[in-house]
């Protein structure tokens, strides 16, 4: 009887272990063959999570700081050299002058005005226990003709919350929409008045309901907890009517921008206009074209998917080189895709040593597409 009991106990323990392991993995469906349409556009000795390309072909990138301190915003030269941008001073954090130094650049893009706009998260991590720094959360405007900062919008308390991490930004006329997965909500910034307000805080379509999977594996923070990221991705439709958004694991939602822009509306009134759009997947980055088609990377299958305004999904490209495609870019008749390899860094593997393969690549895929006029020209 004792022997039988031990066997049953061992069997039960093994079953529980197998179930736990299964919960941390998904059957990977990774591509085996390279797509010959994919072109390598640039490389980096450091991990980047976003790129943008100016009208005259200049390439800029945001670096994740996953390898330790270093430049956060850089220009990528034609010879592959990366140079701190707009200068070294902005890339050297100084707590005593938070408004004029980058704490943690997380996103960048060429705006409708042709300038480079940079999102400083104002915090160093999501869900890590780090607190947002007053004056550090800011949207910085850089004139590419003079290579000088010409303005900055500071997002401070009470709009910036202690857990805030200002993640990404999109433009729509006089407004900028900024995701905050740290405090889980959306910041709406009036570019004319400089005033901002919050919407969709902890809404059921803002929070994360599922774990994040990349290459078949669940992501974990350095302390072993599941990595959870709420409202993160966002795009504005070409006509400016809709804002599409989602937590990293989905689903995708949408809301008419008129409800976001009106700061006199009660939170409950704004919330009731948010609607489910599509059940999506673990997504590293998105983009939108002039026809309103959304492009969303699938970091679990090394693919990029196209989503029509009607919600029809198709595969744009699937390639083994596309390891965690992050913030994408549309310009010069191509879809630009940084293969960020975020899932190979200690920040997502429970603190395990990095397995990033250097240099980190930027790819582009020639397509008959144009950028949305709400995004950039």
Nearest to 253 by CA among 280, 228, 229: 280
DSSP state of 371: B
User: Is 229 contained in some domain?
Assistant: yes
Number of domains in the chain: 1
Q: Measure Cα distances from 256 to 150, 240, 304, 307 in Å.
A: 31, 9, 26, 18
Question: What is the pTM assigned to this prediction?
Answer: 0.92
Any domain includes 136: yes
Whole-angstrom Cα distance, residue 228 to residue 127?
A: 7
DSSP helix/strand/coil, 22: helix
Cα dist from 332 to 52, 308, 368, whole Å: 11, 21, 10
The tokens for 286 are 């998105």
Mark the ranges of the chain whose per-residue pLDDT is less than 70.
Answer: 1-23, 26-28, 376-377
The label of the residue with tokens 């994040």 reads: 212
- Any idea what the CATH number is for the domain that residue 325 is in? 2.120.10.30
pLDDT at 111: 96
Q: Around Cβ 328, how many Cβ atoms within 10 Å?
A: 23
Phi, psi of 166 (to 5 degrees): -75, 110
User: Which is nearest to 156 in space by CA: 122, 186, 183, 188?
Assistant: 122
Pick the closest to residue 103 from 134, 81, 128 (CA basis).
134
Q: Is residue 34 part of a domain?
A: no
What pLDDT, on the 0 to 100 scale, is given for residue 23? 64
Residue 91 near residue 63 (C-beta atoms within 8 A): no
Q: Is residue 323 part of a domain?
A: yes
Q: Would you state the pLDDT for residue 327? A: 96
The three-state secondary structure class of 230 is coil
- Domain-embedded: residue 24: no
The answer to whether residue 25 sits within a structural domain is no
Q: Tell me: the pLDDT tens digits for 149-200? A: 999 999 999 999 999 999 999 999 999 999 999 999 999 999 999 999 999 9
What confidence score (pLDDT) does residue 80 get? 78
Asked if residue 5 belongs to a domain, the reply is: no
Domain span at residue 105 reads 39-366
**Residue 220 lies inside a defined structural domain of this protein:** yes
């Amino acid at each position: 009887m004792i022997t039988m009991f031990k066997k049953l106990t061992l069997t039960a323990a093994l079953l529980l272990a197998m179930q736990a392991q299964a919960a941390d993995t998904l059957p990977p469906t990774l591509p085996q063959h390279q797509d010959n349409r994919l072109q390598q556009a640039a490389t980096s000795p450091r991990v980047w999570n976003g790129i943008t390309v100016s009208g005259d072909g200049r390439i800029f990138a945001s670096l994740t700081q996953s390898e330790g301190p270093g430049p956060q915003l850089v220009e990528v030269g034609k010879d592959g050299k990366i140079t701190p941008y707009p200068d070294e001073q902005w890339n050297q954090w100084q707590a005593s002058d938070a408004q004029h130094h980058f704490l943690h650049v997380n996103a960048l893009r060429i705006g409708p005005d042709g300038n480079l706009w940079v999102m400083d998260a104002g915090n160093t991590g999501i869900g890590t226990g780090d607190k947002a720094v007053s004056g550090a959360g800011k949207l910085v405007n850089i004139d590419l003709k003079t290579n000088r900062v010409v303005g900055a919008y500071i997002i401070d308390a009470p709009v910036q919350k202690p857990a805030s991490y200002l993640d990404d930004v999109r433009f729509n006329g006089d407004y900028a929409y900024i995701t905050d997965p740290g405090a889980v909500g959306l910041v709406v910034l009036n570019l004319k008045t400089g005033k901002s307000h919050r919407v969709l805080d902890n809404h059921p379509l803002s929070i994360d309901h599922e774990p994040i999977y990349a290459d078949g594996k669940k992501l974990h923070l350095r302390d072993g907890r599941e990595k959870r990221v709420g409202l993160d991705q966002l795009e504005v439709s070409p006509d400016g009517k809709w804002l599409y958004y989602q937590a990293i694991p989905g689903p995708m939602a949408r809301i008419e921008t008129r409800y976001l822009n009106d700061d006199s509306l009660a939170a409950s009134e704004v919330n009731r206009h948010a609607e489910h759009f599509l059940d999506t997947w673990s997504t590293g980055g998105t983009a939108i074209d002039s026809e309103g088609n959304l492009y969303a990377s699938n970091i679990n299958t090394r693919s990029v998917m196209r989503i029509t305004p009607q919600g029809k999904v198709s595969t744009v490209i699937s390639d083994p080189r596309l390891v965690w495609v992050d913030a994408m870019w549309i310009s010069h008749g191509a879809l630009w895709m940084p293969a960020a390899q975020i899932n190979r860094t200690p920040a997502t593997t429970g603190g395990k040593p990095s397995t990033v393969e250097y240099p980190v690549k930027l790819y582009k895929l020639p397509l008959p597409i144009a950028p949305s006029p709400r995004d950039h020209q």
